[in-house]
Amino acid sequence: MLDVTDLQLTRGGRLLCDGFDLQLRAGEALLVEGANGAGKSTLLRSLAGLQPLHAQRLCWNGLQGRAAREALAQELCFLGHRDGLHEALTAMENLDHALRLGGEAQPAGRIAQALRDAGLQAVAQAPLRRLSQGQRRRVGLARLALTRRRLWLLDEPLAALDEAARQDFNDRLAQHLRQGGMALLSTHDPWPTAPSMPRLRLPGAQPAAA
Ligand SMILES: Nc1ncnc2c1ncn2[C@@H]1O[C@H](COP(=O)(O)OP(=O)(O)OP(=O)(O)O)[C@@H](O)[C@H]1O
């Protein structure tokens, strides 16, 4: 379980959001909402360890403080606007790199299957810079499914996806949650399962001090 108390969001030295709590249990997803600039990406990036996280307390599966942050870093997968992919590498090489970093020695079979499932066989050998936005996002989502991390932190996961890919992602998310995974997601789009997903609304940036 993820339990963060008195979380404060800052970006570039500016306070965005003050003093809110966040909890996620096994099998739960939370939709992060808010206007442009409210701090949705900042929240996800902070939890992913890409920016400082200011909170009174952070617990992860019974651990606290530094031990919790270190364990969390090993068990999360972050998908940001740039999908965490290398532009010069092919889709296959990107996935291979991600899985080998995670300690998998022979990932080729699983990667080939994931590329087929994502409808990416035709572009699997092209450098990422030659792929469309939607194709890149499909590679990013394939990485997400392949790395089997417990906590998914997803910034606009539906962006640039066509209807079939959205449905596919939604099915994967449902499976992830059934298996005890957790997910924190931001989106501007209507979510296919929106009625059943709890929401966290960020109030927006605080006015700058005079
Ligand atoms: N690299 C940066 N340096 C300083 N400030 C930044 C940086 N990136 C974003 N910000 C500021 O931080 C605030 C929150 O940005 P963030 O990207 O978290 O918002 P968001 O809710 O994800 O927005 P959007 O819906 O537009 O994606 C914004 O006011 C933005 O101007």
Tell me, yes or no, whether 158 lies in a domain.
yes
Cβ of residue 42 lying under 6 Å from some atom of ligand 1 = yes
CATH number where 121 lies: 3.40.50.300
pLDDT values of the chain reduced to their tens digit, one per residue, 210 residues: 999 999 999 998 899 988 899 999 999 999 999 889 999 999 999 999 999 999 999 999 999 999 999 999 999 999 998 777 899 999 999 999 999 988 888 899 999 999 999 999 999 999 999 999 999 999 999 999 899 899 999 999 998 999 999 988 998 999 999 999 999 999 877 776 544 688 888 876 555 544
- The string over 16-31, giving b where at least 16 C-beta atoms fall within 10 Å of a residue's C-beta and e elsewhere, is bbeebebebeeebbbb
Region label for 156, one of left (φ > 0), alpha (ψ between -120 and 50) or beta (otherwise): left
Q: Can you read off the two tokens belonging to residue 141? A: 């989502």
Tell me, yes or no, whether 121 lies in a domain.
yes
Nearest residue to 16 (alpha-carbon basis) of 40, 32, 33: 40
- Other beta carbons less than 10 A from residue 57's beta carbon: 13
Could you say which DSSP state residue 57 is in?
Answer: E
Tell me, yes or no, whether 186 lies in a domain.
yes
Helices (H), 63-132: 65-75, 91-101, 108-117
The rounded Å distance from CA 140 to ligand 1 centre is 21
Which of 31, 41, 81, 154 has the most ligand 1 atoms within 8 A of CB, as the residue to mutate?
Answer: 41
Tell me, yes or no, whether 38 lies in a domain.
yes
* Alpha carbons within 13 A on the beta-carbon side of 112: 3
Angle (CA) 76-188-159 rounded to 5° is: 65
Q: Is the ipTM of this complex over 0.90?
A: yes
Total domain count for the chain?
1
Its pTM stands at: 0.90
Cβ of residue 12 lying under 6 Å from some atom of ligand 1 = yes
Tell me, yes or no, whether 210 lies in a domain.
no
Host domain of residue 69: 2-201
Tell me, yes or no, whether 206 lies in a domain.
no
Nearest-CA residue for ligand 1 atom 11 is: 11
